[in-house]
Amino acid sequence: MPVDCLEFRLATHDDFDEVVRMSEGVYGGLDYLPSHYHTFIDDPYRLVVLAEMDGQIVGLSSAFIVDGGEVYIEKALRVAESCRGLGISRRLTEHVDRAVRARFPAVERKRKLVVDAGKVESLKKKGMDVVCHLQTISFADEPHTRDSQRACAVRAANNLPDFPTLPELRRIHEDDLHSVLHPEVSRNLLANGLMSGRWDPLNFCEENFLYMLNNGYSLFADDTKPFAESFSFGKCFPVPSGVQYFVDLHVSEERHLKAHLLKHFVEMCRCDTQLPVYLTVSVTNKAMVTAAETFCSEILCLRQFDLPHASLGVVVEGKL
């Protein structure tokens, strides 16, 4: 089928059913797009673009405008399984680049998370540089395991094994962001000033924190003065095979990691569902990965779940 027949247009709410059919099987049942689609369409900071061939939707990509309007993140790129290998993703990406330049002229740079290591070198040749890595690990909380004596004790959230004193965490709201936005937090916890917010590599700035808070993410930080020594984002949303709770950890010490994971586990347990719950943890500090795996499996009684894509993401960035 000739790729020259491709046509591009902005997605609408009415395209939802066809987009879901086209995306079937993406991320092995953990696709976030169905639960976020309508929000993306209404979001003034996003463009959602469709590729059509002979009147059928065969691809989708979106642009997420971040960092106070200076950067766009390529999101949710997918091509119908029957049409892969035809160059559709390349054409779609090029069209989105043009659409961003036209709609958001202040955008200067493009950023994306790459989970296919083989594509990093080709992107470098196009002028994009590696700016940081994001390690993700996932765990399954399945209905048949929740009734075990050990799991019930954990869910009581107060019968955990002997722990050294963990840092006290509090939920951060818009009016007390100052303790997290301190420059020392960025210097101590982030690589190249980038933080992770549900796989989105974001600059450490007030605009991005406010966006996360205004879109339903829970933000926790320790109560250290004058600035926080750790912080994390978390949010629960449905996926085709159950429910996913996504946590972004920004920590440098194991005691902070445990405190944040425990806090988000309690939040996760409030999801009123009999379906599997998948806890996906994004860690910007690779030294903390093993500690997160051990805590979630041995203490929180969760089964490690292999993501249907690479767990190590490479963040690349370049001029638009």
Mean pLDDT in residue range 236-255: 94
Q: Residue 204 above 70 pLDDT?
A: yes
The reply to whether 290 and 185 lie within a common domain is yes
Domain that holds residue 237: 132-318
Instruction: Tell me how many domains the chain contains.
Output: 2
Q: 39-89 pLDDT, tens per residue?
A: 999 999 999 999 999 999 999 999 999 999 999 999 999 999 999 899 999
More confident position, 270 or 212: 212
Tell me what pLDDT residue 251 has. Answer: 96
In the 8-state DSSP scheme, what is residue 291? H
Q: 3-30 pLDDT, tens per residue?
A: 568 999 999 999 999 999 999 988 888 8
The reply to whether 99 and 147 lie within a common domain is no
Q: 260-315 pLDDT, tens per residue?
A: 999 998 888 888 788 999 999 999 888 999 999 999 998 888 988 876 555 668 99
Q: 114-158 pLDDT, tens per residue?
A: 887 788 888 999 899 999 988 889 999 888 777 776 667 666 655
The reply to whether 196 and 50 lie within a common domain is no
Tell me what pLDDT residue 12 has. Answer: 98
Tell me what pLDDT residue 117 has. Answer: 76
The reply to whether 155 and 55 lie within a common domain is no
Nearest alpha-carbon partner for 268 in 300, 312, 305: 300
β strands within 67-105, DSSP E: 71-79
Contact 134, 73 (CB under 8 A): no
Tell me what pLDDT residue 151 has. Answer: 65
d(CA 317, CA 320): 9
The reply to whether 143 and 98 lie within a common domain is no
The reply to whether 173 and 97 lie within a common domain is no
Q: How confident is the model at residue 318 (pLDDT cuts 50, 70, 90)?
A: very high
The reply to whether 150 and 266 lie within a common domain is yes
Tell me what pLDDT residue 75 has. Answer: 92
Tell me what pLDDT residue 116 has. Answer: 79
**CATH number (domain holding residue 64):** 3.40.630.30
Tell me what pLDDT residue 153 has. Answer: 62
Contact 18, 55 (CB under 8 A): no
Mean pLDDT in residue range 212-217: 94
The reply to whether 170 and 71 lie within a common domain is no
Nearest alpha-carbon partner for 235 in 202, 205, 211, 204: 211
Mean pLDDT in residue range 166-176: 92
